[in-house]
C-alpha cells in the first residue's frame, strides 16, 4: 500500500509555502540574513511545534516566515518544496502564499512574487512539476488591507491564478471580505477560502454564497449541516482536506476519528493535502499513508483521492486530460 501511494501521480491543492519552511532551511536563511531565531537546535524547534489550536500555530508560523528577506530566500523556500513534490510523484501543485505576512515587515510584493514564481518556472523545466499560485488574504487583517494587497498584485496578475483566505478563522467570517473577493473575481482571480476548519458551517455557507468560492479549504465543519453537504455536492465543489494538520491543530482528536471516510461515503469530493508540512509532521504522501492506515481506506478510495486532486485542480481541461 505504501508503495502504491508513493507511486501514484497526484496533485497538491492546499499548501502554504510559508508552512513548508523546514527547520534546516530556516536556520540557514536566518544565518545568511543575520537574524536571530529563538531556537538553538532542531530539538528545540520540535518542542515548540506542539499546538493546541490554530492560533498557537499561526503565532509560530508568522515568526518563522520573518527570516525571509530577499528574492533568493523566497526562491530557495519554494524550490525546496518543489523538490519534495518531485520525490513524491506530485506532478502539479497549487501553492498559497501570504503577501501581507511579508509586506507588513517591509518586504515588497515584487520580492515575494518574483522569488516564488521563478522557482516554479525552474521546477517545471527541471523537475517536471507544474504549479500555479494562490494569493491568500490574511483574515485577521482588515478588508481595506486586503484591497491594498489586491492593488499590489495587479502588475503581477499574469503570475497569479487564484485568491484565498487564511489565518485566524474564528471571529473573522468570510462576509468581512465580500467586497475584496468581488473585486478579485473582476480581475480574473479564481476565489477559494479556508472555511469550516475551526469556524462553523455558517462560515462555509458565507464562503459559498458571498465569496463565490470554487473550492473549499478544509471544510470539516460542513458536516454539521446536511443541507450544506447537499449544496456542496450540487455545486460540484471539492474540499481540500488536510488530515495531519487537523490532528496537529486539534481540529480532530485522533486520526482514527477523522471524518474523511465519512465525507467520501456522503459523496463529497475530497482531496488529501499537507497544508503546512514542515509544522504538522508530514508531506502529502505521509498524509495519504497515515490516513489510509487509520481509516482502513481501500486502494480504490486512495486512487479516487489522487484522481480528485487533478479533477478539482485549476489546470486547464486539456492538461487535466493527461492525468484523468
Ligand atoms: N488555517 C488557516 N490559516 C493558515 C493555515 C491553516 O490551516 N495554514 C497557514 N495559514
Ligand atoms: Zn491551510
Residue 139: φ, ψ to 5°:
-80, -10
Name which residue sits closest to atom 3 of ligand 1, judged by CA: 167
Dihedral class, residue 268 (left if φ above 0, else alpha if ψ from -120 to 50, else beta): beta
| pTM of model > 0.90 | yes
In CATH, which superfamily holds the domain spanning 2-313?
A: Metal-dependent hydrolases (3.20.20.140)
pLDDT of res. 225:
98
What are the sequence ranges of the domains in the chain? Answer: 2-313
CA distance 75 to 288: 27
Q: Which of 51, 316, 49 is nearest to 197 (CA)?
A: 51
Q: How many helices (H) and strands (E) does the chain have?
A: 17, 9
Which ligand sits nearest to residue 203's alpha carbon?
1
276 C-beta closer than 6 A to ligand 1? yes
Residue 90: φ, ψ to 5°:
-85, 110
CA 9 / ligand 2 centre spacing (Å): 22
Sequential pLDDT tens for the chain (324 residues): 999 999 999 999 999 999 999 999 999 999 999 999 989 888 898 889 999 999 999 999 999 999 999 999 999 999 999 999 999 999 999 999 999 999 999 999 999 999 999 999 999 999 999 999 999 999 999 999 999 999 999 999 999 999 999 999 999 999 999 999 999 999 999 999 999 999 999 999 999 999 999 999 999 999 999 999 999 999 999 999 999 999 999 999 999 999 999 999 999 999 999 999 999 999 999 999 999 999 999 999 999 999 999 999 999 999 999 998
DSSP 167: S
For helices 143-153 and 109-126, angle between their N-to-C axes, nearest 10 degrees: 60
CA distance 22 to 9: 24
167 C-beta closer than 6 A to ligand 1? yes
pLDDT of res. 46:
84
pLDDT of res. 43:
87
Read out DSSP for 256-315? GG-THHHHHHTT-EEEE--BSHHHHT--HHHHHHHHHHHHT--HHHHHHHHHHHHHTSSS
Name which residue sits closest to atom 10 of ligand 1, judged by CA: 167
pLDDT of res. 123:
98
Q: What is the ipTM of this complex?
A: 0.96
Which ligand sits nearest to residue 138's alpha carbon?
1
CA distance 69 to 274: 25
Beta bridge partner(s), residue 267: none
Contact 312, 13 (CB under 8 A): yes
Residue labelled with grid coordinates 530566500: 73
Q: Which of 107, 106, 153 is nearest to 134 (CA)?
A: 153
CA 24 / ligand 2 centre spacing (Å): 22
Three-class SS state of 164: strand
> C-alpha cell of 317?
481541461
Q: Which of 133, 69, 75 is nearest to 103 (CA)?
A: 69
Pick from 15, 20, 57 the residue to mutate for probing ligand 1's pocket: most ligand atoms within 8 Å of its CB.
Answer: 57
Half-sphere exposure of 59 (CA within 13 A, CB side): 10
Amino acid at each position: 500500500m505504501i508503495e502504491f501511494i508513493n507511486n501514484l501521480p497526484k496533485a497538491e491543492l492546499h499548501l502554504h509555502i510559508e508552512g513548508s519552511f523546514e527547520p534546516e532551511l530556516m536556520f540557514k536563511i536566518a544565518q545568511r540574513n543575520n537574524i536571530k531565531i529563538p531556537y538553538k537546535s532542531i530539538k528545540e524547534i520540535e518542542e515548540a511545534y506542539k499546538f493546541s489550536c490554530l492560533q498557537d500555530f499561526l503565532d509560530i508560523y508568522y515568526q518563522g516566515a520573518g527570516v525571509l528577506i530577499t528574492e533568493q530566500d523566497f526562491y530557495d523556500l519554494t524550490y525546496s518544496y518543489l523538490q519534495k513534490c518531485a520525490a513524491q510523484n506530485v506532478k502539479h501543485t497549487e501553492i498559497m502564499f501570504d503577501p501581507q505576512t511579508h509586506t507588513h515587515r517591509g518586504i515588497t510584493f515584487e520580492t515575494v512574487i518574483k522569488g516564488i514564481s521563478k522557482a516554479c518556472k525552474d521546477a517545471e523545466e527541471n523537475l517536471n512539476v507544474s504549479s500555479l499560485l494562490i494569493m491568500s488574504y490574511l483574515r485577521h487583517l482588515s478588508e481595506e488591507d486586503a484591497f491594498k494587497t489586491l492593488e499590489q498584485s495587479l502588475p503581477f496578475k499574469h503570475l497569479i491564478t487564484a485568491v484565498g483566505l487564511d489565518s485566524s478563522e474564528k471571529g473573522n467570517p468570510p462576509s468581512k471580505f465580500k467586497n475584496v473577493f468581488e473585486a478579485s473575481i473582476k480581475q480574473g482571480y479564481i476565489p477559494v477560502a479556508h472555511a469550516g476548519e475551526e469556524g462553523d458551517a455558517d462560515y462555509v455557507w458565507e464562503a459559498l454564497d458571498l465569496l463565490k468560492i470554487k473550492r473549499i479549504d478544509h471544510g470539516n465543519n460542513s458536516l454539521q449541516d446536511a443541507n450544506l453537504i447537499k449544496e456542496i455536492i450540487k455545486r460540484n465543489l471539492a474540499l481540500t482536506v488536510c488530515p495531519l494538520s487537523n490532528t496537529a491543530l486539534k481540529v480532530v482528536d485522533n486520526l482514527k476519528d477523522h471524518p474523511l471516510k465519512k465525507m467520501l461515503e456522503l459523496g463529497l469530493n475530497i482531496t488529501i493535502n499537507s497544508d503546512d508540512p514542515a509544522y504538522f509532521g508530514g508531506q502529502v504522501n505521509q498524509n495519504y499513508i497515515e490516513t489510509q492506515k487509520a481509516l482502513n481506506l481501500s486502494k480504490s478510495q486512495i486512487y479516487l483521492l489522487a484522481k480528485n486532486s487533478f479533477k478539482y485542480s485549476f489546470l486547464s481541461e486539456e492538461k487535466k486530460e493527461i492525468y484523468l
